[in-house]
Amino acid sequence: MRIELHPPAEDHRAVITNLATYFRYELLPFAEPGGLRMNRFGIVADDDSATHEKSTAGEAIWWSKPGILLPMLITVNDEPAGFVDIARPPHAHRSVDYRIEDFFIVNKWRRKGVGREALRIVLERYPGKWEVGWLPANAPAAKFWRAVCTKWNATDWPVEQTPGTPSLPGLLFQT
C-alpha cells in the first residue's frame, strides 16, 4: 500500500472539494444544535444552497492563500483516500505554527494505518508547534488524535481557551 501526501496543487482542487462533501456529511452526527445541518435540498451547509457546488463556494479560500492555507490530497495507490487542510497564522492562532483544520480519510481506508501515515508525513514535512481540534461530540476523532499525538507529548487545551476556535476541545503539540 503506497500512501502519499500531495502538496497543495490546483489540479487537486476538484478532488478535495468532492471529498469535503463526504466529510461534511460524516460530521452531521456530531453537530451541535444550531450548527452544521442538512438543508431542505439535502445539502450539508449553513445556508440554503441547492447544489454541492454552491455549498462549497466558501472553500475557495483554501486555494487563494498559498503558504498560509495548505489543502493537501491523500492518496493510496494513486486513488483519492482523503485530505488534510492545514492553516498557518493568521488563520491559526498566533501561538502556533500550524493548525489541522480538517482531516478526512475515506471509510474504505480507515483503520488500515492510512490516517496515521498521512499525519506522520504531514508532521515531518512541516515541523513546528501544532494545534488540532474536534467537535465535542466526536468521540472517534478525540480517540484518534489522542492516540496519534501521544508521541509528541500533546497536551489538552482548556475548552474555554482553545487557541483557534473557542468552542472546541483539542490538543497542542510540538514536532
Distance CA(156)–CA(152), nearest Å, equals: 12
For 166, the enclosing helix (H) or strand (E) is none
User: In angstroms, what is the C-alpha Rg of the chain?
Assistant: 16
Distance CA(58)–CA(149), nearest Å, equals: 30
CATH number for the domain spanning 77: value is 3.40.630.30
**Would you say 148 and 156 are in contact if contact means Cβ atoms under 8 Å apart?**
no
Distance CA(93)–CA(107), nearest Å, equals: 30
Domain assignment of residue 46, given as a range: 3-174
Write the pLDDT tens digit of every residue in 112-154. Answer: 999 999 999 999 999 999 999 888 889 999 999 999 888 887 7
Domain count, the chain: 1
CA 93 to chain centre: 16
The single residue listed with the C-alpha cell 488563520 is 91
Distance CA(171)–CA(40), nearest Å, equals: 35
Statement: residue 94 has pLDDT above 80: yes
Write the pLDDT tens digit of every residue in 37-53. Answer: 888 888 887 777 787 77
Instruction: Give pTM, 2 decimals.
Output: 0.89
The single residue listed with the C-alpha cell 466529510 is 23
Cis omega (within 30 of 0) for bond into 136: no
**Would you say 106 and 19 are in contact if contact means Cβ atoms under 8 Å apart?**
yes
